[in-house]
Chains A and B, each alone.
Chain A
Amino acid sequence: MTVAERTPLVELQHISVAFGGVHAVRDVSIDLYAGEVVGLVGGNGAGKTTLMRVLSGAHPADSGEVHVDGKRVKITNPSDAKHYNIETIYQTLALAENVDAPGNLFLGRELTTRLGSLDDSAMEAETRKVMGRLNPNFKNFKQPVQSLSGGQRQGVAIARAVHFNAKILIMDEPTAALGPAETAQVRNLIRQLKDEGIGIFLISHDIHDVFDLSDRIGVMYHGEIVDIVEKATVTPDDVLGMIILGKKPGEVTDTDKAAIELRG
């Protein structure tokens, strides 16, 4: 691959995060290139979400460095991350339930008139444009988002992430709450964004999603990276083995295999 010669969009180097005495993330390094999807997989509590929260500014790292476009940066809060065009779609969606779609889309980055008042009409117009592209059926621009369906809410969260010229996108379980049609829509969107040159970290439980969409797959186990592999070089079973055992395919012993089979 020629990928290695280019500068990565993001490099996380030796990131560690501890909650009390528990190491949620231990000395993890991973990088992401433009137009690339890197899948992050692992069991519950493997540290995927915590690692990504470091990058999105939601939780500071205890140690380690973040480089964006080859330069070391300090990300201590969500605003910092947005400054570097790092956008996040959280698993919880992080929407203010009582605020309407335009209000959520522009939350923290409101458009204002010359006198500094909210320009709701301009925000609604922008929202209509973005949502028209993502989900043409979307019509509820004035209702609080709590009255929307799961798919529509997801649409608002995605629109918020892609509207502000994201270069790096973090998607935490983007399809977990969606029906089949909406899942397909999100998959198409991921491919489209990838073609536009956006780098995407994709956290998912669904190994098929990850195989379908990712270029590389990073497997985490108990806060550490087991391996980061090119998708073409592994099978879903290899990845599953890494998730469950925390070992690279070559290191798996017969006893381990037996253990997996026992677990079903």
Chain B
Amino acid sequence: MTNLAEAPSQSGQQRPGTVTSIRRLIAQTEIDVRLFGMLVALAVILLTFNVLTDGTFLRPTNMVTLSVQAAGIAIIATGMVLVIVSRNIDLSVGSLVGFVAMSYALLMTDWLPLLGLGPDFPFRWAIALAIGIAIGAGFGALQGFIIAYIGVPSFIVTLGGLLSIRGLVWYLSNGAAISGIDRNFQLLGGGAQGSIGGTLTWVAAIIGCIAIVALLVNGRRQRRRFDFPVRPMWAEVLLAGAGCVAVLGLAAFANANLWPTGLANRIAIEQGWGEAPEGGWQIATGLPIPILLVIGVGLVMTWLATRRRFGRYVYAYGGNPDAAELAGINTRLTILKTYVVMGILCSIAASISAARLNGATLDIGVSYELYVIAAAVIGGTSFSGGIGTISGAILGAFVMASLSYGLSYMGVISPGQNVAAGIVLIAAVGFDTYNRRRGS
């Protein structure tokens, strides 16, 4: 068993195949092969659409729109990973998004003014966001409590949540759609003004590069401290280089997306920028705020999942519930927490939806649960528990969004998009199952 790795060289029967040596090189970089494969798949999808649309699909404006559409699903999918890893499910996310989105709208139009916080009150957007997150966390805690402490199966509890919370949305607004979201809150939805602009995007990218290098250096120093084997230097440099190129490339791409001329002219007049320069205003939009939210949520959730006790317990419970229990872990509290996290993420996703719509309708978030579960599963999360990554789920959400956006860009109507999404879901999991079986 232990000698398997060294066996070929010892017995002198080293196979000359290049496949094995490439595998070994990849292994030395300690890259997650699965994740890398997904990145390749995503690239293939995007490039295919690009070819099919005569090179118009990969324009920055399309990619930015696609990403913003994927943002809500991606954010919730990071939480769904933890829920599914710990052998549960959450079907109520779509309804919860609807409820919180409606709450945001009502906070802006009715509730906050009642409390004397009129349209001019500072940081209304933050107050509304905090209340929304509290509502989401509250619903999550309630469902988590029923699941973990009373022992009702999560499928049942959250199915009940799916039905009843959606019903509550109607009661919130008496069946009406509500519009009139605070100006600053609207920025959460992205768009030209809800983006951070060219300069800040470059600053963010440079911070990202520094962080990548710092993480690699720190990791290497940690392993040196304990005399553990470290990656070969070329692998470290390759990883750092690839990471920085990716981050800077993303920033350049986002900055290639310019403000629409009409909007630029209007704002120029409003703010008195003077005459438009030759060729009109050329303002880089940079990264949209929803994308920054996805990145932020992804980092925090990865940190929670891999660097904190909470995450370790979620995975241990998913791998073997009895073992977690016998190790003295408070498994019930751990499960409850996964639903609280889920509720918070739903609230963040709801803020993006409400901001984009400048309000809330009764059907915000309908069938989100299915897309979110699909994103997590395409991203490698296994229903048998214990397996799944945050980054995989985010990629899964982008794969789904690329497909539906690409198809709609080509004029395929939404039933056709659903057919494609369903087939991709089954194919992705089928491929994964096949790979795992072969691996073991």
- List the interface of chain A (C-beta within 8 A of B): 56-58, 77-79, 82, 88, 90, 92-99, 103-104, 107-110, 112, 116-118, 121-122, 124-125, 128, 137-140, 144, 148-149, 152
Complex: how many Å from CA A74 to CA B324? 21
Separation in Å of the B234 CB from the closest CB of chain A? 20
**Which residues of B317-357 have CB atoms within 8 Å of chain A's CB atoms?**
317-320, 322-329
Separation in Å of the B304 CB from the closest CB of chain A? 10
Complex: how many Å from CA A108 to CA B329? 5
B226 touches A121 (CB 8 A): yes
18 additional contacts (CB under 8 A) given A96-B324, A108-B329: A78-B325, A78-B328, A90-B326, A104-B316, A107-B323, A107-B329, A110-B312, A116-B308, A116-B309, A117-B307, A118-B307, A118-B309, A121-B225, A121-B226, A121-B228, A125-B226, A128-B226, A152-B1
B319 touches A96 (CB 8 A): yes
Separation in Å of the B376 CB from the closest CB of chain A? 16
Complex: how many Å from CA A122 to CA B222? 9
A140 touches B2 (CB 8 A): yes
B318 touches A110 (CB 8 A): no
Residues of A within 8 Å of B226, CB to CB, are 121-122, 124-125, 128
Residues of B within 8 Å of A77, CB to CB, are 328
User: B223 on the interface (CB 8 Å rule)?
Assistant: yes
A–B pairs, 9, beta carbons within 8 Å: A94-B323, A96-B319, A98-B387, A108-B328, A110-B312, A121-B226, A121-B228, A124-B228, A140-B2
B323 touches A95 (CB 8 A): yes
User: B359 on the interface (CB 8 Å rule)?
Assistant: no
Separation in Å of the A258 CB from the closest CB of chain B? 43
Partner of B2, one of A109, A116, A138: A138
User: B104 on the interface (CB 8 Å rule)?
Assistant: no
Residues of B within 8 Å of A107, CB to CB, are 312, 316, 323-324, 327, 329
Residues of A within 8 Å of B324, CB to CB, are 96, 107-108
Q: Which of B307, B323, B329 gathers most chain A CB within 10 Å?
A: B323
User: B315 on the interface (CB 8 Å rule)?
Assistant: yes
Separation in Å of the A139 CB from the closest CB of chain B? 5
Of all chain A residues, the one with the shortest Cβ separation from B325 is: A78
Complex: how many Å from CA A97 to CA B303? 21
Q: Which 7 A-B pairs give the minimum distances between C-beta atoms?
A: A98-B319, A79-B328, A98-B386, A108-B327, A96-B319, A96-B316, A107-B327
Complex: how many Å from CA A99 to CA B317? 10
Of all chain A residues, the one with the shortest Cβ separation from B222 is: A121
Separation in Å of the B435 CB from the closest CB of chain A? 15
B319 touches A92 (CB 8 A): no
B320 touches A95 (CB 8 A): yes
Complex: how many Å from CA A107 to CA B331? 12
Complex: how many Å from CA A33 to CA B315? 38
Complex: how many Å from CA A121 to CA B221? 10
Complex: how many Å from CA A58 to CA B316? 17
Separation in Å of the A69 CB from the closest CB of chain B? 21
Partner of A118, one of B312, B325, B326, B327: B312
A98 touches B318 (CB 8 A): yes
B2 touches A78 (CB 8 A): no
Complex: how many Å from CA A42 to CA B318? 34
Complex: how many Å from CA A77 to CA B325? 9
A96 touches B323 (CB 8 A): yes
B386 touches A96 (CB 8 A): yes
Residues of B within 8 Å of A152, CB to CB, are 1-2
Of all chain A residues, the one with the shortest Cβ separation from B316 is: A96
Complex: how many Å from CA A79 to CA B223? 31
Complex: how many Å from CA A88 to CA B306? 27
A139 touches B316 (CB 8 A): no
Given A98-B315, A107-B316, A124-B226, A58-B1 contact (CB < 8 Å): no
Partner of B312, one of A97, A103, A121, A148: A103
Of all chain B residues, the one with the shortest Cβ separation from A142 is: B30
Complex: how many Å from CA A88 to CA B328? 12
A137 touches B2 (CB 8 A): yes
Given A107-B327, A108-B329, A149-B1, A117-B320 contact (CB < 8 Å): no
Residues of B within 8 Å of A82, CB to CB, are 328
Complex: how many Å from CA A149 to CA B2? 9
Separation in Å of the A187 CB from the closest CB of chain B? 21
A99 touches B316 (CB 8 A): yes
Complex: how many Å from CA A116 to CA B312? 13
A121 touches B223 (CB 8 A): yes
Complex: how many Å from CA A100 to CA B307? 14
Complex: how many Å from CA A96 to CA B324? 7
Residues of A within 8 Å of B223, CB to CB, are 121
B320 touches A94 (CB 8 A): yes
Of all chain A residues, the one with the shortest Cβ separation from B224 is: A121
Complex: how many Å from CA A144 to CA B326? 19
Residues of B within 8 Å of A108, CB to CB, are 324, 327-329
B319 touches A78 (CB 8 A): no
Complex: how many Å from CA A117 to CA B2? 31
A148 touches B1 (CB 8 A): yes
A58 touches B326 (CB 8 A): yes
Complex: how many Å from CA A95 to CA B315? 12
Separation in Å of the A91 CB from the closest CB of chain B? 12
Q: Which of B315, B325, B326, B386 gathers most chain A CB within 10 Å?
A: B326
Q: Which of B312, B320, B322 gathers most chain A CB within 10 Å?
A: B320
Residues of B within 8 Å of A99, CB to CB, are 312, 315-316, 319
Separation in Å of the B301 CB from the closest CB of chain A? 14
Q: Which of B222, B306, B327 gathers most chain A CB within 10 Å?
A: B327
Complex: how many Å from CA A56 to CA B316? 20
Residues of A within 8 Å of B309, CB to CB, are 110, 112, 116, 118
Of all chain B residues, the one with the shortest Cβ separation from A58 is: B326
Partner of A103, one of B225, B316, B387: B316
